[in-house]
């Protein structure tokens, strides 16, 4: 009987946990709590659009395939970040795109792949700066700070769930940033969904949100 009780208890706990992580209520709450902190920049709200803004586009992965142009090799996240950076660059005539990311394979780095993609999409190469050393957000902020400090006004472009941590890290290195998030996971009516059927997308949203909160805690309380 005791084994039967334990088995029933485990089934109930497992079922409850599955519903918590796979139905919308908790995942939507966690993702919204990150994505609602900042909104994409409206250029008209900037005080001086003629300044030399540095638009930092954080890296997010790419692949290799000799058949494909550079923009098709970027991950969906990287392409979304780059498109937001180019949107801002096109509206700020004196701006520079700072493209960031290393190479784990020794081949073309993320920064170089972003640069090649930007050029294919109409950006003048002279308007780009690449940082090929950083392997993560911490290093991206550290390298930029070492090269430029607070010399230029900085617009930071990254995914909306990642933006709170990215802002915190850049501020840690003394770089004041204007956030312009992109790659929103929840848009429009999806932000208001509270009840629904279990789905893998909800599990993915929750995993992404909790990963960011864990990384924020690591950076804030335990350092690297």
Model pLDDT, residue 152: 95
pTM comes to 0.90
Q: How far apart are CA 44 and CA 196, in angstroms?
A: 39
Digit-coded pLDDT (tens) for 164-213:
999 999 999 999 999 999 999 999 887 888 888 888 999 999 999 999 99
Average pLDDT over residues 16-41: 92
Confidence of residue 22 (pLDDT cuts 50, 70, 90): confident
| CATH number for 162 | 3.40.50.620
Confidence of residue 222 (pLDDT cuts 50, 70, 90): low
Q: How far apart are CA 183 and CA 186, in angstroms?
A: 9
Total number of domains constituting the chain? 1
Strands (E), the chain: 54-57, 96-100, 128-131, 154-157, 177-179
Domain that holds residue 10: 2-222
Sheet with strand 96-100: strands edge to edge: 128-131, 96-100, 54-57, 154-157, 177-179
Digit-coded pLDDT (tens) for 129-174:
999 999 999 999 999 999 998 899 999 999 999 999 999 999 999 9
Model pLDDT, residue 126: 96
Digit-coded pLDDT (tens) for 32-61:
999 999 999 999 888 888 899 999 999 988
The answer on pLDDT for 79 being more than 90 is yes
């Amino acid at each position: 009987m005791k084994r039967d009780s334990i088995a029933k208890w485990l089934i109930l706990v497992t079922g409850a946990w599955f519903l918590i992580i796979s139905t919308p209520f908790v995942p939507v709450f966690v993702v919204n709590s990150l994505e609602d902190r900042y909104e994409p920049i409206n250029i008209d709200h900037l005080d001086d659009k003629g300044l030399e803004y540095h638009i930092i586009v954080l890296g997010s992965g790419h692949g290799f395939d000799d058949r494909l142009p550079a923009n098709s090799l970027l991950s969906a996240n990287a392409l979304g970040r780059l498109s937001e950076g180019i949107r801002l660059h096109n509206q700020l005539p004196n701006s520079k795109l700072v493209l960031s990311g290393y190479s784990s394979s020794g081949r073309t780095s993320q920064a170089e792949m972003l640069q090649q993609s930007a050029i294919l999409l109409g950006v003048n190469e002279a308007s780009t700066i690449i940082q090929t050393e950083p392997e993560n957000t911490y290093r991206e902020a550290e390298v930029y700070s070492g090269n430029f400090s607070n010399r230029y006004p900085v617009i930071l472009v990254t995914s909306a769930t990642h933006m709170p941590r990215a802002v915190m890290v850049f501020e840690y290195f003394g770089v004041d940033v204007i956030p312009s998030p992109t790659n929103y996971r929840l848009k429009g009516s999806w932000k208001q969904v509270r009840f629904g059927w279990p789905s893998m997308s909800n599990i993915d949203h929750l995993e992404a949100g909790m990963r960011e909160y864990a990384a924020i805690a690591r950076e804030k309380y335990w350092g690297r």
